[in-house]
Structure 1
């Protein structure tokens, strides 16, 4: 009987922990991320209507806003988010979701037509992760680089700084490792602190996708939180010259 009660208690405790993690109440990465002082969010249309003054008052220093996807898609809230965020004290940048179904040059055209080339903005981010059927069958390394490399070259030529590369751990390992030395790396690792397989130090870390902050109301209840490895001045330096 005691064994059954103990087993039941373990099951209940495990279920409660799982529920707390799923709802963002308990998030182990918060402890590790607390060691970094420069914090920020990333948002898209799913955060809905954002009060940027309120959001900027939540002990955050930077924000990345979804702008584009592939060669023909734009986030419907990008323009208003960009304009409002740029009026706060936040460092602001835009991000693009990479498509494996269209050329790098046409994706660059989409970004350049959408994201203003403004003094003080952070470098454009290229998000390299799976979608649709590519989550089950990953593209080849050559396929990705044939798209990614000209895209990065076009963006650096236009905006004047190497784009930031965002990736999940498996996509970093498959496509980015041992390369792209000039591009800051933003790694997603929402359960444990990240370690890059080639020994490189990450620059930005998305440590949680289960946070709730005052200042937005949309279809998505949660908001992503990130940290920058260096100082605020070092983050500011990315926007001017791309030097880390």
Structure 2
């Protein structure tokens, strides 16, 4: 691990777009960009965890000014090297606490990135940071999975999500602390390589309380970016909290 870049150093950044290729498809990107552009209106957007620009770059192409905060210089370097990357303003820092100049009509966190903050305090700080950047009436948007604890029988702590001849991947859960990790075992030239990322899972109701502490109120919650209804069977949600005047 690169200490400066956290868990998203050069090794991860070099293969990130390839490893997350399905999330870069138009089916995954376009509905998110449509919704965020509509919320931004004529104002600028702030992305927490901008990464390699999966969402920021198409938003800029839509005419929405975007400022991105990310701890990983290696990921941001990939963003800057892409066509249009110079049009996305970036700041290196912890998105839970790093402040940038200006007011924004929308701030957003996508693809489970809220879980990269591995303590409840850091997640609460993130909501407060988002609220501090928003103009009155502005919105904070989070896309994150619903914890899959119903898949855990008594005594089991791991849930597999990828099994192939060359890769095994599984999540582990600690229900006492809400700590979790995603673990990947990849076979390369007959040798196994292991990579693990720590997370903290969080419930929708818990996020609503964090928002309330930050002066935000829930406006909408859907299963996905195309505004499918959120139900007890939904595996993820896209939630929008609005800053009260």
Q: Same fold (TM over 0.5)?
A: no
TM-score by length of 2: 0.35
Higher gyration radius (CA): 1
More helix by share: 1
Question: Which one scores higher on RCO, CA 8 angstroms, separation ≥ 6?
Answer: 1
TM-score by length of 1: 0.35
